[in-house]
């Protein structure tokens, strides 16, 4: 068999005899993969070569080689676990999953929460943090091959890199990967801007390096006289970060302060300020560019002294001064740089995994004593699934299809009767796994099952979902109790005419509502006490009917009210004809609005109602985890025509799913 000529073979001497045998066995497996126009050699070999520059452990190198995408089809015939061990096998499985995930869409760029959910899903689905590192190397190899692809593919891969993979590299503290991912993706997305910045940097490279070296030499010599030990080096600036700063500050590249940057690391807090004083005494400074993040740390805990000086040639140089502890905190993972750039918060499990990964990259002799040392605990309390349209939904671990239904929309949960996972029917108690696509089967009837809130039956995991079901049953019980109380108080009067004479004129709609009087005539009589039913909320213009009550006079219902339609034969004689007399009167009418997005919902609806001179008596907004919302309003309405008009206008507002009168 023709040997595989790869960069890794020259580094075989760094491994033991036993490791060299395993490495050659892995190379022999991928050597059987036929080449094509896009890949001159197996992709896994290129990825392993990238990782060897980071001095990763030997098992990571093996897993990188054996997770070549074109080996997946023949994976079953290759007993990797027997040949290379369970750790390598598990890593290969994780990387294969990461290489085959197809969730990203360009629309995620305009929905940051979806991009963040995908990043969390990718991290949660890997059992070993080294799999993420291998995946990042695969993405770098993919970007290096993009010139052979169409422009459409180049743009898709580059956008996905900037939205998903570069932030993951940043989050894990692997800044070398982050910078290369960002710069290469930016090169394909905006080649003109990339070449402009690259040309500007290249033109002045020698002068910049000379300025940096002159600054470092003078500072180190001065600090040596003061017996201050320091590490001082130039800090490279990358094209994409330069472009972002140009956009953010609306400046040209020549106007940026920190194209020249130096980092000074000392051994104590006192020496930080001593070095700062020396720097300010040796060079002219730009006062407005000074920041003391030691005395006033950033919210994420980042600490350092930042200042900008002007050297003898007029070059502006940014200087960062910090202790080794501050530097370690900033560099070992999420800490300062991730939180500062992405606005995230620190996580103990994240810091633990990142610190372990950084040790893996920085310690050439490190060999894990246990696979648990590299086990990823990031976001392992969550599960990430997809809607049929490809939208990611973030749920707690152990969630069921019913939890998913309620997370998408409360009404979908109430009407759920079944579910499909990846196209197959599953029980509603099925435990969801990340990456699965869920389709909810619903009925027209809104009727949750009481079994759903029984913790022993396993229908619902989320307390939020359980509370939604409980709220629905509580509302039903309140309606039933109100109906029972009304029925228990009904007594038949001697005659309708006598009742009309005995009861004074009291035209009220609600006890505590300041509404205009609304006259309803009862069989031609106007001086009769009338009360409007709470079950159907009649409005002028509705067809109405009356019901004789001893305590409330005539209760006015809508003609199609369920309670009136279901009235028993014994109580039918208590129905009485009623009619509207004053169409300008007002009524308290409840409506319900369903929306895709809760943001600005109440404001937009309130402004519309104000423009139409409709008063709001009460409002209650219920927002869901996916930002959908239900808005319950009670409005002052004159008649059904006005109600129908305003409902139509509400439906035309952005993000509105439906708006209707509440039954």
pLDDT digits (tens, 9 = 90+) for 573-606: 788 888 877 655 677 888 999 887 777 788 888 8
CATH number of this structure's domain 384-476: 3.10.20.30
Query: CB-based contacts of 380: which residues, under 8 Å, 6+ apart?
Result: 124, 397
Q: In this predicted structure, what is the pLDDT of residue 276? A: 94
Rounded-to-integer distance, Cα 638 and Cα 643, Å: 8
pLDDT 10s digits, 150-193:
888 899 899 888 888 888 887 776 777 888 899 999 999 999 99
pLDDT digits (tens, 9 = 90+) for 603-635: 888 888 888 888 887 888 887 766 678 888 988
Q: How many residues are listed for the chain in this entry? A: 663
Q: Looking at domain 204-331, which CATH architecture does it have?
A: 2-Layer Sandwich (3.30)
Question: Residue 619 in 3-state DSSP?
Answer: strand
pTM of the model: 0.52
Instruction: Please tell me the predicted confidence (pLDDT) of residue 616.
Output: 83
- Contacts of 513-517 with C-beta under 8 Å, sequence gap 24+, read 513/588, 513/617, 515/585, 515/586, 515/587, 515/588, 515/636, 516/584, 516/585, 516/586, 517/582, 517/585
> Is the Cα dihedral 195, 198, 202, 208 positive or negative?
positive
CATH node for 587-661: 3.30.70.260
pLDDT surpasses 90 at 306: yes
Q: CA-CA distance, 410 to 432, in Å (whole number)?
A: 19
Are residues 492 and 573 in contact, defined by beta-carbon separation less than 8 angstroms?
A: yes
Q: Which pLDDT score is estimated for 505?
A: 26
What are the b/e assignments for 266-293, b being 16+ CB within 10 Å?
A: beeeebbbbbbebbeeebebeeeeeeeb
Residue 161: exposure state from Cβ atoms within 10 A (0-12, 13-18, ≥19) = buried
Secondary structure of the chain: what % helix, strand, coil (to 5)?
50, 15, 35
Tokens describing residue 377:
């605990």
Q: Is 364 helix (H, G, I), strand (E, B) or coil?
A: coil
pLDDT at 115 over 80: no
Look at residue 502 in the predicted model and tell me its pLDDT. Answer: 33
Q: Which residue has the higher pLDDT, 549 or 373?
A: 549
Highest average pLDDT, of 42-51, 111-120, 354-363, comes from: 42-51
pLDDT at 549: 76
Residue pointed to by tokens 């008596």: 617
Residue 161 main-chain phi, psi, to 5 deg: -65, -45
Lowest mean pLDDT among 120-134, 254-268, 349-363: 349-363
Average of per-residue pLDDT across 341-360: 48
**End-to-end distance of the chain based on CA atoms, in angstroms?**
78
What six digits make up the tokens of 64?
């990188």
User: In terms of DSSP bridges, do strands 587-595 and 656-661 run parallel, antiparallel, or are they unpaired?
Assistant: antiparallel
* 263 three-class SS: strand
Closest listed residue to residue 122, CA positions, set 52, 54, 70, 169: 169
- The alpha carbon dihedral of 428, 430, 433, 436 has a sign of negative
pLDDT higher than 60, residue 381: yes
Helix (H, G, I), strand (E, B) or coil at 163: helix
The first and second tokens of residue 539, run together, are: 């409005």
Lowest mean pLDDT among 96-100, 133-137, 144-148, 342-346: 342-346
For residue 223, name the pLDDT band (cuts at 50, 70, 90).
very high
The 3-class secondary structure across 473-536, one letter per residue, is HHHHHHHHHHHHHHHHCCCCCCCHHHHHHHCCCCECCCCCCCCCCCCEEECCECCCCEEECCCC
Do 157 and 105 meet the contact criterion of CB atoms below 8 Å apart? no
Q: What is the DSSP letter of 298?
A: -
What would the two tokens of residue 443 be? 């009925």
Cα dihedral sign for 639, 642, 646, 647? positive
Element (H, E) at 46: helix 43-52
What's the average model confidence in pLDDT over 377-389? 71
In the chain, domain spans: 7-192, 204-331, 384-476, 490-580, 587-661
What pLDDT score was predicted for residue 636?
A: 83
CATH 1.10.3210.10 fits 7-192, yes or no: yes
Express each pLDDT in 1-50 by its tens digit: 333 444 555 656 667 778 888 888 888 887 776 655 455 567 788 888 88
Q: What tokens appear for 279 in the block? A: 């720097």
pLDDT score of 350 more than 60: no
**Sign of the CA dihedral running 452, 455, 461, 462:** positive
Q: Which two tokens stand for residue 429?
A: 């108690």
Q: Is the pLDDT of residue 76 over 50?
A: no
Which residues make beta-bridge pairs with 209? none
Residue with tokens 């009925």: 443
Q: Does residue 389 surpass a pLDDT of 80?
A: no
Q: How confident is the model at residue 333 (pLDDT cuts 50, 70, 90)?
A: very low
Q: Give the CA count within 13 Å in the CB-facing half-sphere of 437.
A: 11
Q: Radius of gyration of the chain from Cα atoms?
A: 35
């Amino acid at each position: 068999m023709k040997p595989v000529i790869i960069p890794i073979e020259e580094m075989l001497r760094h491994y033991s005899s036993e490791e060299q045998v395993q490495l050659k066995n892995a190379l022999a497996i991928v050597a059987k993969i036929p080449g094509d126009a896009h890949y001159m050699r197996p992709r896994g070999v290129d990825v392993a070569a990238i990782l060897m520059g980071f001095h990763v452990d030997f098992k990571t190198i093996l897993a990188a080689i054996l997770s070549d995408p074109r080996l997946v089809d023949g994976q079953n015939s290759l007993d990797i676990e027997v040949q290379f061990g369970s750790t390598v096998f598990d890593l290969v499985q994780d990387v294969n999953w990461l290489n085959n995930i197809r969730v990203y869409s360009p629309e995620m760029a305009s929905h940051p929460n979806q991009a963040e959910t995908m990043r969390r899903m990718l991290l949660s689905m890997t059992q070993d943090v080294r799999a993420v590192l291998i995946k990042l190397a695969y993405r770098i190899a993919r970007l290096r091959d993009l010139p052979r692809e169409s422009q459409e593919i180049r743009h898709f891969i580059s956008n996905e890199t900037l939205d998903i993979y570069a932030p993951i590299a940043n989050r894990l503290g692997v800044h070398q990967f982050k910078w290369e991912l960002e710069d290469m993706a930016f090169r394909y997305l905006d080649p003109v801007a990339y070449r402009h910045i690259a040309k500007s940097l290249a033109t002045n490279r020698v002068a910049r390096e000379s300025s940096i070296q002159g600054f470092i030499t003078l500072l180190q010599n001065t600090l040596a006289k003061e017996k201050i030990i320091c590490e001082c080096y130039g800090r490279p600036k990358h094209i994409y970060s330069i472009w972002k700063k140009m956009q953010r500050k609306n400046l040209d590249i020549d106007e940026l302060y920190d194209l020249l940057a130096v980092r000074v690391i000392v051994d104590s807090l006192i020496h930080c300020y001593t070095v700062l004083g020396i720097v300010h005494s040796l060079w002219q400074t730009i006062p407005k560019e000074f920041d003391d993040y030691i005395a006033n740390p950033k919210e994420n805990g980042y600490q350092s002294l930042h200042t900008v000086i002007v050297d003898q040639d007029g070059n502006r140089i940014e200087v960062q001064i910090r202790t080794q502890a501050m530097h370690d905190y900033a560099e070992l993972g999420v800490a300062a740089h991730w939180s500062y750039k992405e606005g995230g918060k620190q996580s103990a499990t994240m810091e633990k995994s990142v610190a372990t990964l950084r040790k893996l990259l920085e310690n050439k002799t490190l060999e894990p004593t246990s696979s648990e040392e590299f086990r990823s605990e990031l976001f392992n309390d969550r599960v990430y699934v997809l809607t049929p349209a490809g939208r990611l939904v973030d749920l707690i671990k152990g969630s069921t299809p019913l939890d998913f239904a309620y997370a998408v929309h409360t009404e979908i949960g109430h009407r759920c009767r079944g579910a499909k996972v990846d196209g197959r029917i599953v029980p509603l108690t099925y435990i969801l796994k990340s990456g699965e696509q869920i389709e909810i089967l619903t009925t027209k009837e809104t009727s949750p099952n009481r079994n759903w809130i029984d913790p022993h039956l396993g229908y619902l995991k989320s307390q939020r979902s359980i509370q939604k079901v409980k709220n629905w049953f509580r509302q039903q019980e309140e309606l039933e109790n109100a109906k029972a109380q009304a029925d228990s108080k009904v007594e038949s009067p001697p005659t309708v005419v006598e009742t009309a004479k005995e009861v004074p004129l009291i035209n009220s709609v609600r006890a505590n509502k300041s509404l205009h009087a609304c006259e309803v005539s009862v069989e031609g009589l106007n001086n009769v006490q009338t009360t409007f039913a709470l079950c159907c909320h009649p409005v002028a213009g509705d067809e109405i009917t009356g019901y004789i009550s001893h305590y409330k006079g005539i209760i006015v219902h809508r003609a199609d009210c369920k309670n009136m339609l279901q009235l028993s034969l014994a109580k039918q004689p208590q129905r009485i004809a009623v009619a509207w007399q004053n169409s300008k009167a007002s009524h308290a009418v409840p409506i319900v609005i369903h929306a895709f997005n809760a943001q600005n919902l109440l404001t937009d609806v309130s402004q519309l109602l104000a423009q139409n001179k409709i008063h709001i008596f009460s409002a209650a907004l219920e927002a869901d985890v996916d930002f959908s919302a239900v808005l319950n309003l009670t409005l002052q309405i004159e008649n059904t025509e006005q109600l129908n008009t305003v409902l139509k206008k509400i439906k035309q507002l952005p993000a509105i799913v439906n708006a209707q009168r509440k039954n």
